[in-house]
Amino acid sequence: MADSTILIVDDEAAIRDVVGITLDLAGFDTIKASNAHDAHVSIIDQKPDLVLLDWMLPGGSGIELARRLRRDEITSAIPIIMLTAKASEDNKVQGLNEGVDDYVTKPFSPRELVARIKTVLRRVNGKERDKSLQVFDLKLDPTSHRVTIEDKLVEMGPTEFRLLKFFMLNQEKVFSRDHIQTSVWGANVYLEERTIDVHIRRLRKALSSVKGVSIDYSKLIQTVRSAGYRFSVRPA
Amino acid sequence: MADSTILIVDDEAAIRDVVGITLDLAGFDTIKASNAHDAHVSIIDQKPDLVLLDWMLPGGSGIELARRLRRDEITSAIPIIMLTAKASEDNKVQGLNEGVDDYVTKPFSPRELVARIKTVLRRVNGKERDKSLQVFDLKLDPTSHRVTIEDKLVEMGPTEFRLLKFFMLNQEKVFSRDHIQTSVWGANVYLEERTIDVHIRRLRKALSSVKGVSIDYSKLIQTVRSAGYRFSVRPA
DNA sequence: CTTTCCAGTAACACTATTGTCACAAAGCCG
DNA sequence: CGGCTTTGTGACAATAGTGTTACTGGAAAG
């Protein structure tokens, strides 16, 4: 983790410097780029472990670059954290569809930035253990048994909680209903097949029930026809 | 913790040696005694942080010594772990009433012995944080939201779970119903006063519902007339 | 010993949660 | 488009959990 290389893409030198210093202090290696083209070259060339991408870039926006990276087989697995000037709903929703892994809104505290980078790296590396689970601003705390979105409590039943926990611990993979049943309800439990669907629905409902939130987190639970469901930050 | 001194009281030299070596390796200082009288003198003289006491001692049983230690102001705070040849129900129940802090049944693994000593020391020193809470063989795991007695699942409702968690985090102190209500239900919640009593009853019921267990763990929840309730391993 | 008070207990009504079902909607195939 | 499959959705009944109440039993006070 401490050896991860982060590519910082921002047209403002001041931002590059501040972020660079922050990440240096946190033990990351850093590369910098001031425009989308240079960034793309650096990514292919040096394969950073994560890209910090400014939303607004001259001559090719950040979102364009993100899209390109996702399309390309070689770069599609590299996590991206967007740096946005302000929390705009449209931006967030669109970014979600482009497969961005997280957002950090300027101005941000060094602490938060580092925390989010670590979270994303942990998630991508599949080393999600203990502690509270977090995806964007959706947090699940196994200890206090609470789920929040942007610090607003999300109400759901115990079964939905376990279902969400399972998904957050196993992101990006498709699970059959059988598999979900075994993992969430346990073996030796007979359930009518459609029961899973209903709980999926209830979970989605709970996730989108929070008002005043820019992202619809229920979209993270994707239906894979004839296969099962998947929890993913990437577009379906 | 690593500097704690443990007094080993056993009439068998072989046991004293084995236990002594085990504790040395675990970083504890050890004192040894082969009978109740010597043990008592050593305790007053050297004030060990914990006493490992053999149940059957020639010329004054271990239980007698435990009782004497609890009666005396000076020694009453020193935790005691009993070493018993076999898990006899009567012994355990009686020991519970004498205020023994834990039991280890011979033969025991060094690993288990050290683990139990550390648990008791942690509990007594009030540094019970994180992790799973344990008292004797009663375990509460905040993360998995499970309670077990001797690894057997104890069924109870969510409210009883929180109530038990509260008690296990705050042992040996008497709490008024008001205090319990605020801690477990939260402030700004109106409850009919007797409601607490009913939940206490349900928790006790749950704790004593497990079959094939030598100790009645419901006894740990003590009623303090006109004051409230207390969770304690010491006699009422 | 009697009275008074307090806690134990059982029973009840109310609510939340859960699994199931029936039907509507959407996707997929030729 | 038309038929078939799969999923979304609302409704429902059964169950578990919760708070309240009334009655019982035992301890403390007089």
pLDDT, tens digit (0-9, with 9 covering 90-100), for B13-57: 888 888 888 887 777 888 888 888 888 888 887 788 899 988 777
Which of B225 and A124 is assigned the larger pLDDT?
A: B225
Q: Where in chain B is CATH 1.10.10.10?
A: 133-231
pLDDT, tens digit (0-9, with 9 covering 90-100), for A2-59: 468 899 998 888 888 888 888 877 778 888 888 888 888 888 777 788 999 887 777 5
What length is written for chain B? Answer: 236
pLDDT, tens digit (0-9, with 9 covering 90-100), for A133-146: 788 889 998 777 88
Q: Which residue has the tokens 């950040």?
A: A62
Q: Cα–Cα distance between A19 and A31 in angstroms, integer?
A: 11
Residues of B with Cβ-Cβ distance to A143 under 8 angstroms: 142-143
**Angle CA A114–A1–A229, to nearest 5:** 85
Whether the Cβ atoms of residue A81 and residue A50 lie closer than 8 Å to each other: yes
Whether the Cβ atoms of residue A84 and residue A103 lie closer than 8 Å to each other: yes
Q: How far off is chain A from B141, nearest CA to CA, in Å?
A: 9
pLDDT, tens digit (0-9, with 9 covering 90-100), for A202-219: 999 999 999 888 789 999
Q: Which residue has the tokens 């994180």?
A: B130
Q: Cα–Cα distance between B72 and B52 in angstroms, integer?
A: 18
Which of 1.10.10.10, 3.90.1200.10, 1.10.150.120, 3.40.1360.10 would CATH assign to domain A133-231? Answer: 1.10.10.10
Q: How far off is chain A from B142, nearest CA to CA, in Å?
A: 6
CB proximity A236–strand D (7 Å threshold): no
Q: Cα–Cα distance between B109 and A214 in angstroms, integer?
A: 56
Q: Cα–Cα distance between A46 and A41 in angstroms, integer?
A: 8
Is the preceding omega at residue A107 within 30 degrees of 0, hence cis? yes
Residues of A with Cβ-Cβ distance to B158 under 8 angstroms: 158
First-last CA distance in chain B:
28
What is the pLDDT averaged over residues A90-119?
A: 72
pLDDT tens, residue order, chain B (236 aa) = 556 889 999 988 888 888 888 887 777 888 888 888 888 888 887 788 899 988 777 765 677 788 788 777 667 778 888 887 765 555 555 555 566 788 887 777 777 888 888 888 877 775 544 455 788 889 888 777 889 998 898 999 989 999 998 898 888 889 999 889 988 887 778 888 899 999 999 999 999 988 888 788 998 999 998 899 999 887 66
The torsion region of residue B227 among left (phi > 0), alpha (psi -120 to 50) and beta comes to alpha
CA–C1' span, A228 to D21, in Å? 49
Q: Could you give the 3-state DSSP secondary structure of residue A130?
A: coil
Of B73, B92, B74, residue with least CA distance to B84: B92
Architecture of domain B5-124 in CATH?
3-Layer(aba) Sandwich (3.40)
ipTM of the complex: 0.56
CA–C1' span, B226 to D30, in Å? 18
In what helix (H) or strand (E) does residue B229 lie, and over which residues does it extend? strand B228-231
